[in-house]
A and B are shown apart, each in its own frame.
Chain A
Amino acid sequence: MDLPDDARPDDARPDDARPADAPARRPASVYGVGTEPDARFSLANERTALAWLRTALGLVAGGVGLASLANLTDPHVVVDVVAALACLTGGIVAFYALYRWRANERALRLGHPLPVPGALPTLVAGVVLLGLLLAAFALGRAV
């Protein structure tokens, strides 16, 4: 899909303006549509995807840390369950990062509004739930 000239951002340019010897870019579902946005926007989108990846990594690292703690000290099944849930959620968020990058890059190329990060409230609720579960477990052990 190509935008009319008056709807195209000032700094956008057609994809065929790239060097002729440049390799074909993947995925075609992204680079096959729209016009080339300002490189700074694409780099910002990449950093956003990396931020999602690091969020996923934080969950996975928390899960690995809890599993390590359970392995090295007095184990309890609740800690293992929380660790497993954190790792599972982290794995899902890692691939959600790819989905978000693709959706954002398509929107940039097509001049559409950026899509809403719909998974964010779910992720926040899940992290709060895991935190409450761990807090309840710690209180139960302390009392």
Chain B
Amino acid sequence: MNADVPFARDAGLPAERSSLAWQRTVLGVTLGAIVGGTTALHAGHWWLATVALVVAVCAVWPGVLRPGRGRTLAGGGLAGALVREGWPLLVRAALLVGALAVVGLALAVVGALA
């Protein structure tokens, strides 16, 4: 298929599937951060709870991760989807998952040493 040919909607809905994949990921990060933060608060580690809270806020803050924005193929054709690339968003999402991993690791280490 030629990318320059405009069309109303792609049958595979790739932009919509990508938006949903982003939303699932953001939701997962947020829920994980809430669980980790709640446990940290319960165990009295306020600094770990603060990190988890920052992760949760960053995951849902539109300026950090903007799932799906500007990616609708139906509006601008295939070229429209190429204007915004996913790399910076992927890096931020990976950093949030890494921060959550640090929270979990710290909880486990603190628990093992207690």
B79–A46 contact, CB under 8 A?
no
Of residues 53 through 94 on chain B, the ones whose CB sits less than 8 Å from some CB of chain A are: 71, 73, 78-79, 81-83, 85-88, 90-91, 93-94
Which of the residues A39, A88, A98 comes within 8 Å of B94, measured between beta carbons?
A98
Which of the residues A57, A67, A91 comes within 8 Å of B29, measured between beta carbons?
A57
- Interface size for B (C-beta < 8 A) is 53
Which residue of chain A has the shortest Cβ distance to B97 in the bound complex? A94
B18–A43 contact, CB under 8 A?
yes
Q: Please give, as numbers and ranges, the residues of chain B lying within 8 Å of A10 by CB-CB distance.
A: 1-2
Q: Please give, as numbers and ranges, the residues of chain B lying within 8 Å of A30 by CB-CB distance.
A: 87
A63 at the interface (CB under 8 A from B): yes
Q: A18-B82, A51-B21 are in contact. Are A64 and B98 (CB under 8 A)?
A: no
Q: Please give, as numbers and ranges, the residues of chain B lying within 8 Å of A66 by CB-CB distance.
A: 108
Q: Please give, as numbers and ranges, the residues of chain A lying within 8 Å of B83 by CB-CB distance.
A: 18-19, 22
In terms of DSSP, what is the predominant structure of the interface of chain B?
helix
A38–B78 contact, CB under 8 A?
yes
A80–B108 contact, CB under 8 A?
yes
Which residue of chain A has the shortest Cβ distance to B43 in the bound complex? A71
A71–B104 contact, CB under 8 A?
no
Interface centre among B14, B25, B42, B101 (most CB of A within 10 A): B101
Of residues 59 through 115 on chain A, the ones whose CB sits less than 8 Å from some CB of chain B are: 60-61, 63-68, 70-72, 75, 77, 80-81, 83-84, 86-88, 90-91, 94-95, 97-98, 101
Q: How far is the CA of A32 from the CA of B4 in the complex (A)?
A: 21
Q: How far is the CA of A91 from the CA of B108 in the complex (A)?
A: 14
Q: Please give, as numbers and ranges, the residues of chain A lying within 8 Å of B90 by CB-CB distance.
A: 46, 49-50, 53, 97-98, 101
Residues of B within 8 A of A (CB): 1-4, 10, 12, 14-15, 17-18, 21-22, 24-25, 28-29, 31-32, 35-36, 38-39, 42-43, 71, 73, 78-79, 81-83, 85-88, 90-91, 93-94, 97-98, 100-105, 107-109, 111-112, 114
Apart from A80-B109, A87-B104, A101-B87, list 20 A-B contacts with CB within 8 A. Answer: A17-B79, A19-B83, A36-B82, A38-B1, A38-B3, A39-B73, A40-B10, A40-B12, A42-B82, A50-B18, A53-B90, A60-B97, A61-B35, A63-B105, A64-B32, A67-B104, A67-B107, A80-B108, A83-B111, A94-B101
